[in-house]
A and B are shown apart, each in its own frame.
Chain A
Amino acid sequence: MPLLGATSGRPLWMRLGSLLALGQWVFLVVAFICLTYAFLSDDFSVKLVAMHSNSALPWYFKFSAVWGNHEGSLLLWVLILASWTLAVGYASQSLPLDMRARVLSVLGMISIGFLMFIIFTSNPFERLLLNPVADGNDLNPLLQDFGLIIHPPMLYIGYVGFSVAFAFAIAALMTGNLDAAWARWSRPWTNVAWAFLTIGIALGSWWAYYELGWGGWWFWDPVENASFMPWLAGTALIHSLAATEKRGVFRSWTVLLAILAFSLSLLGTFLVRSGILVSVHAFASDPTRGLFILAFLVLVIGGSLLLYAIKAPAIRSNAKFGLLSRETFLLINNILLAIALSVVLLGTLFPLASSALNLGSYSVGPPYFNAMFVPLTLPMIALMGIAPYISWKRTNKVSDAIPKWFVAAITSLVLATLGTSLLSNQYQQDFHWGAFTTLTVSIWLIVSTTLHILSKAKHQQGLLSGLKRLSVSYWAMVIAHMGIAVTAIGIGLTSVYEQQKDVRMLIGDDISVSGYRYQLTAINTFEGPNFSGTRGDITVFNNEDVVAVLQPEKRFYYAARNVMTEAAIDPSLTRDLYVALGEELGEGAWAVRVHVKPFVRCIWLGALMMALGGFLAVTDKRYRRKGALNA
């Protein structure tokens, strides 16, 4: 068993650091390849393969089936952790030796915990030697999808990436050396982890949108919240790290955030893996697993908070800052994010707590989260338009910025009024104040940021060369902030203007939604590799022009005996046409669900921009120069 080989080297970890990180990584890769090979070659004597794969499954789904289950996904988790550890070991040659050893040992301890978890409660290589089965149970059809091939690895890279920020924080706490250097080391790792997490969440949302057949892109499902909470903490951490590096303020708060971000990642893993949630993601329902993760969680969070409590009082920041300084804005950003985080945490954990304490079995509805997030997010976006103009330390030169803010405010008000009127007209609704506010605030952010870029570039000779001279990290910030605006526009406009109709249709029937006429022209049956299906042909007209022919499917998967809806979507930047087949109603009639979703693509486009910003920030010369300096 290769895993055992990896584990046995553990106590030596502290001294051999990066060499052992390499060894652990190699062994885990071998383990992972073995498991992948078992899946690809249909080795049904391995229990996991028999449970989650099938000989008729296409090869790429066999591949993704490796992590489409509890044991395999944990192996992936540890493999990613080992990869991060390896990366830290080799990319941080410039770190002081003791710091690097501490960081690596913290990562190693996390790794031990998870490897023990795998070996004792969820061994992926368990065999079925007594009763070998002829064919496997198949992968849950919901998971047989391209989005699901890459969603878990992305999400895990993000989750686990926060362990690096965590390890740096713990190592720095141990030495008591929480200086600007510590913040500078942590920043690139945090940014990359955050960017991956952003992509992971966006992919999950996109997958839910087209695969679940409900046309929703976010359900405030506890599992979604579990990934969203580390994201909020990570976002706060990125901003607070910036303040710590540049000005040495908020040190202990930053450490706390680093601990929090990783703890929430662990909590997310616990919530998803323990089987206490009602969710697609809940593969496991073995209580020992839940207990193990819970114990591990208590150990990690309790231990790190204890260390924090002991060491934090010694941390003092002497830097002062004025009321209208960038520090204040970053502080407000952090406060708003922390409130948002507690809102999600409360809404997610309250039902669990009340059922654990026998106070009744509750669920918290999406209106709760929506009611909370709108008033939190809009001021945050509005302030994001101002923040770049404000300089560090204290108030100065704001008078220069006021005319620009004025221009941005007027432009956004005009454009938002125009946009809202046009859209309300197109989708036959009254002037919607919610859409207006969202548009105003988002356009304000875009215009204000653009003006800031221009004014910054103008200080150099010539606009073009000025634009070129702006630092990469500045561009990263700008792109990520604009991404927020784009996502906000997408969320606002989709929520306000989307139209959905569930109808009963016979062949030849049609229905109009938001100016588009949907006509059911045919229903056919067909055979897939591991399923049989029914496909509807629905032609969409705008006036008398054919816009699209959509082919939604209903599939029946043989092995799992599951029925699945495959929605059909005609995507474009300004609107998605979305059709899903419901069930057959008899007499040739079908239930059909039809949506028109304006600007829904912007949600994921914005998320991609944020992730791009996160990646760009890492390539900034500042981080590399420091490496060259010490090499």
Chain B
Amino acid sequence: MHPARKQRLIIVAIIVIGASAAAALIANALKQNLNLFYEPTRIVNGEAPIGRKIRVGGMVLENSLTRVPDSLTVQFVVTDYEAEVTVEFTGILPDMFTEEAGTVATGVLTEEGLFVAEQVLAKHDETYMPPEVAAALKNKPPSY
């Protein structure tokens, strides 16, 4: 083979191998880090996987926030006004976290239906509502 062509072939081969390796790595990493969002209704209906990292979002139910004494562990109830999920979180809640406001938690659902969160997000200002929470609450006005 012509030396220049041979050289070009080597370069192309390196690029192809590198690109496919990268593509495989990307696909694998993406698969492991996708966190699917579930409304409380779907969690109560048993549609959410147990022991896999997922996200849940909705409104924090009024008067549902309780603290475990002498620790940073809190429990609160997230609702879409049809079903309710209890969320447990150990750590510092975000500044804008309040009852009767939207929240999105990332964590794992246990066999008992308790959602153990490793991260809790709240809105950034008074008027803002996370789009996923807004969608979860669509056509479901508070019944009380």
- List the interface of chain A (C-beta within 8 A of B): 140, 142, 213, 275-276, 278-280, 282, 285, 320, 322-323, 328, 335, 339, 342-343, 346-347, 350, 360-368, 371-372, 375-376, 502-504, 560-565, 580, 582-583, 585-586, 591, 593
| Contact A368–B55 (Cβ < 8 Å) | no
B30–A350 touching, CB < 8 Å: yes
Contacts of B131 in A (CB 8 A): 275-276, 278
Find out whether the CB atom of B36 lies under 8 angstroms from the CB atom of A213: no
Contacts of A282 in B (CB 8 A): 128
Please report which residues of chain B, range 30-53, place their CB below 8 angstroms from some CB of chain A when the two chains form the complex: 30, 32-37, 53
Task: Judge whether B125 and A560 touch: CB under 8 Å.
Answer: yes
- The answer to whether B30 and A361 have CB atoms under 8 Å apart is no
Q: Specify which of B26, B29, B132 lies most central, judged by the most chain A CB atoms within 10 Å of its CB.
A: B29
**Which of A335, A363, A502, A562 is the one whose CB lies under 8 Å from B72?**
A502
Q: A142-B124, A372-B26 are in contact. Are A362 and B95 (CB under 8 A)?
A: no
In the complex, which residues of chain A have a beta carbon less than 8 angstroms from the beta carbon of B83?
Answer: none
Contact with A along B82-97 (1 / 0, CB 8 A): 0000000011110110
B112 within 8 A of A: no
Q: Which 5 A-B pairs have the closest CB atoms?
A: A582-B92, A368-B33, A361-B37, A365-B33, A371-B29
Task: Tell me whether A213 and B95 are in contact (CB under 8 A).
Answer: yes
Residues of A within 8 A of B125 (CB): 140, 142, 560, 562
Residues from chain B with a CB closer than 8 A to the CB of A375 are 25
B105 shortest CB reach to chain A, Å: 12
| CA A362 to CA B34, docked complex, whole Å | 6
Which residues of B are found within 8 Å of A560, using beta-carbon distances? 125-126
Q: Which chain A residues border B121 with CB–CB below 8 Å?
A: 278
Closest to B7 in A: A323
Q: How far is the CA of A491 from the CA of B135 in the complex (A)?
A: 37
Q: 24 A-B Cβ contacts within 8 A?
A: A142-B124, A275-B131, A276-B131, A320-B4, A322-B7, A323-B10, A335-B15, A335-B18, A339-B18, A339-B19, A350-B34, A362-B37, A363-B34, A364-B30, A367-B29, A368-B33, A371-B29, A372-B26, A502-B90, A502-B92, A504-B71, A564-B95, A565-B95, A582-B72
Per the bound structure, the CA–CA distance linking A302 and B7 in Å amounts to 35
Residue B13 interfacial (CB < 8 Å): no
Give Cα A279–Cα B125 distance, bound, in whole angstroms: 11
**Which residue of A is nearest B35, CB measured?**
A363
B135 closest partner in A (C-beta)? A361
Report the minimum CB–CB distance from A102 to chain B (whole Å): 34
Chain B residues within CB distance 8 Å of chain A: 4, 7, 10-11, 15, 18-19, 22, 25-26, 29-30, 32-37, 53, 55, 67, 70-72, 90-93, 95-96, 104, 106, 121, 124-126, 128, 130-132, 135
CB distance from A564 to the nearest CB of B (A): 6
Q: Complex formed: what's the CA distance from A367 to B34 in Å?
A: 10
> Cβ of B26 and Cβ of A343 under 8 Å apart?
yes
| Chain B residues closer than 8 Å to A372, beta-carbon distance | 25-26, 29
Residues of B within 8 A of A564 (CB): 95
The answer to whether A323 touches B95 (Cβ under 8 A) is no
C-alpha spacing A583/B93, complex, angstroms: 8
Q: Are A562 and B95 in contact (CB under 8 A)?
A: yes
Residue of B nearest to A343 (CB): B26
Q: Which residue from chain B places its CB closest to the CB of A328 in the assembled complex?
A: B11
| Contacts known (A323-B10, A335-B18); A363 close to B96, Cβ less than 8 A | no
- Which residue on chain A has the smallest CB distance to residue B19? A339
Besides A342-B26, A361-B135, 20 other CB < 8 A contacts?
Answer: A140-B125, A275-B131, A278-B131, A280-B124, A285-B128, A320-B4, A323-B11, A343-B22, A350-B34, A363-B55, A364-B35, A365-B34, A502-B90, A504-B72, A560-B126, A562-B95, A562-B96, A562-B125, A580-B92, A591-B92
CA distance A360 to B135 in the complex (A): 12
Question: Are A563 and B33 neighbours in the complex by a CB distance under 8 Å?
Answer: no
CB neighbours (8 Å) of B55 from chain A are 363
For the complex, give the distance between the alpha carbons of A586 and B15 in Å.
61
Give, as a whole number of angstroms, the nearest-CB distance from A210 to chain B: 14
Contact yes or no, A593 B29, CB < 8 A: no
**A383 CB to closest chain B CB, in angstroms?**
13
Instruction: State the CA gap A502–B11 with chains docked (Å).
Output: 52
CA gap between A361 and B91 in the complex, in Å: 26
B132 touches A364 (CB 8 A): no
Residue numbers in A under 8 Å from B132 (CB-CB): 278, 361
Q: What chain B residues lie within 8 Å of A580 (beta carbons)?
A: 92
Chain B residue contacts of A376, Cβ below 8 A:
22
Beta-carbon contact of A562 and B126 below 8 Å: yes
A593 lies within 8 A of B92 (CB): yes
Report chain B residues within 8 Å CB of A565: 95
Distance of A275 Cα from B131 Cα, bound (Å): 9
- Is there an interface contact between B33 and A360, defined as CB atoms closer than 8 Å? no
Task: Decide if A278 touches B30 in the complex (CB within 8 Å).
Answer: no
Chain A residues within 8 Å of B72, by CB: 502-504, 582, 585, 591
